[in-house]
Amino acid sequence: MNLSLFLWSFNFLSHYPLRQGHRAIILIWLLVSLLNFVLIPGACALRVFELKKGQTVYGTLKYVKIGHGATLLDIARDQDLGYNQIVAANPDVDPWVPPEGARILVPTMFVLPRRRLPSGILINLAEMRLYYFKGKRFWTCPVGVGREGYSTKLSVYTVLSKAEDPVWVVPPSVRREESDLPPYVLPGPDNPLGKYILRFSRLSYGIHGTNRPWGVGRRVSHGCIRLYPEDIASLFHLVPVGTLIRVTYEPIKVGWTEDRCWLQVYRDYENRVDNPLGEVLSGISSCQQAIGPLKLDLKEIKKALKIQAGIPVPVAYRARK
């Protein structure tokens, strides 16, 4: 609920004749809604979708125009995308000095990873995106990941603990690289952990905010997962201690909706996929099991594998009888 809706509802309640008991119940609901609005900043930052049976592709592709003085990073954050996604989708546009009025593709369409959990957090390092599945919904947002040599170990973890205003105890490996750093950093604008952190059950990893938002959608950390401040503020309040976390690496994702099979390809920066075409065909085979016989568009498949733009494209269609 936004503030204007609350005020309108309160005014309506004051003038519309209701039974006293009903009035009290509605007033309590309004007050709880207002507390949520005030106490949970950025509660709508994460993108949320209703899970639908027979569908693994969600969202839409759209275009926006560059405003005066804006960069692609500004658009990425406004649309809850990472640097990698906005730049890959607009390869001919200077990310720092784009021409004013330029038409920018915003790829807010997602194919769900194959190795997702029925419930819990999934982090796809290749995509640099986090998904949180709970009940009949999922939430998603972009992330910053470990730089070369510090990639998060692929495994299953749990959320061991949660902390607000965490103290950063600087790891020895970081202090060896930056000897001028203190042993620890208190909460505040200089703390790279940001306002909130969800700590992993092992290996000193965490999902946390950042004081450098431009690092979301980049390989910049020592293995931790960085979120925009508004995204971690929302996720922190959604995720309980004990939640499962799976860290995976899927640069090639195949999914389906209605009568189409979609392919989404990101750069395989760790060179883990030996047979990209075989990976796609395996995914399409899963599509066929879900929606029936398909007619492949090999030209689109090869094009997507070549440009690796992270934009979902239809590559197979339900075969006509």
Query: Can you tell me whether residue 262 is helix, strand or coil?
Result: strand
The residue whose two tokens read 């990639």 is 151
In the structure encoding, which two tokens stand for residue 69, read together? Answer: 């003085």
- Catalytic pick from 208, 237, 261, 287? 208
DSSP letters along 76-101, please?
HHHTT--HHHHHHH-TTS-SSSPPTT
Provide the residue count of the chain.
321
The residue whose two tokens read 């899927």 is 250
Q: What are phi and psi of 27, to 5 degrees?
A: -65, -40
Q: Which residues contact 136 (CB under 8 A, 6 or more apart)?
A: 50, 51
- Catalytic pick from 224, 237, 261, 287? 224
The residue whose two tokens read 């989708």 is 89
Asked if 264 and 284 touch (Cβ cutoff 8 Å), the reply is no
- Measured over the CA atoms of residue 293, residue 298, residue 304 and residue 305, the dihedral's sign is positive
Asked if 136 and 287 touch (Cβ cutoff 8 Å), the reply is no
Q: What's the burial of 186, exposed, middle or buried (CB within 10 Å: 0-12/13-18/19+)?
A: exposed
Q: Is residue 224 annotated as a catalytic residue, yes or no?
A: yes
Which one, of 248, 253, 233, 240, lies nearest residue 135 by Cα?
240
Asked if 109 and 312 touch (Cβ cutoff 8 Å), the reply is yes
Q: What are phi and psi of 141, to 5 degrees?
A: -160, 160
Asked if 227 and 95 touch (Cβ cutoff 8 Å), the reply is no
Helices and strands per DSSP (H, E), number in the chain? 8, 19
Report, as residue numbers or ranges, the catalytic residues: 208, 224
